[in-house]
Homo-oligomer: A and B are copies of this chain.
Amino acid sequence: MSTLAQGKADLERASTAQKVADMLRERVLDGDLAPGLRLSEEAIGGALGVSRNTLREAFRLLTRDRLLVHEHSRGVFVRRPSGTDVRDLYAARRVIECGSLRLWDDVAEAQREAVRAPVRQAVARAEQNDWTRAGQANIQFHRGIVGLAGSSRLSDESDRLFAELMLAFRVAQEINDFYQTYVPWNRRIVELLDDGRTTQAVDQLAEYFDAAEQDLVARLEAHQSKGNVKS
């Protein structure tokens, strides 16, 4: 069954535009393509050996995922979240994740474990000072929370929000040290959940968002005046 699903996934991985989009997505999330950077059709199309039309299709796919922004007749740019964007992002996350977490007691055990496991992993990574992987585990934690709702549409949208937030982290230059503060917080949330104190856990999550938003916005607006955009 799993081999069949795997085979089907491979078969669907056909489109050139899709492959180009995947490659560019990785480059953007890794920071090789900095926020604010303009992506020239000619330069990138030439470098990747695909035609302009195909590249434009790839751009549309990434625009849908909010990694790129399209400005008419000006080109596409790597998204550069502003303070306003971050506030909008966290307002959405508060509703989605707090609402999902409230379902904790009603869902299957496997879904709950998908919340606990990433926190254990994040703690372990943090002890090894591996903040990159700790950050990835942190995202898995939040993905697990949204997964409690059992809606693939909601999970997909959350993934887009997370990706956008990654860009904001990059602009604020706090990729590595950001999670240091919040890993223990997540652990406490899971403890509350396992204690049956779901409401308090939700409150903690809301507070986490308040603190994270405030922190990120502050750092972002400190950096936003500097025109750190590579050409």
A: which residues have CB within 8 A of B? 12, 14-15, 53, 56-57, 60-61, 63-64, 72-73, 88-89, 91-92, 94-96, 98-100, 103, 149-154, 157, 161
Contact = CB atoms under 8 A, between A and B. Distances in A.
Contacts of A56: 57
Contacts of A89: 151, 153
A15 B72 contact: yes
A88 B168 CA distance: 29
A98 B61 CA distance: 30
Interface centre among A15, A95, A99, A161 (most CB of B within 10 A): A95
A149 B73 contact: no
A75 to B, nearest CB: 13
Contacts of A72: 12, 14-15
A73 B13 CA distance: 12
Contacts of A63: 64
16 contacts: A12-B72, A14-B72, A57-B57, A64-B64, A88-B150, A88-B153, A91-B150, A91-B154, A92-B151, A94-B149, A95-B99, A95-B100, A95-B149, A95-B154, A96-B154, A99-B99
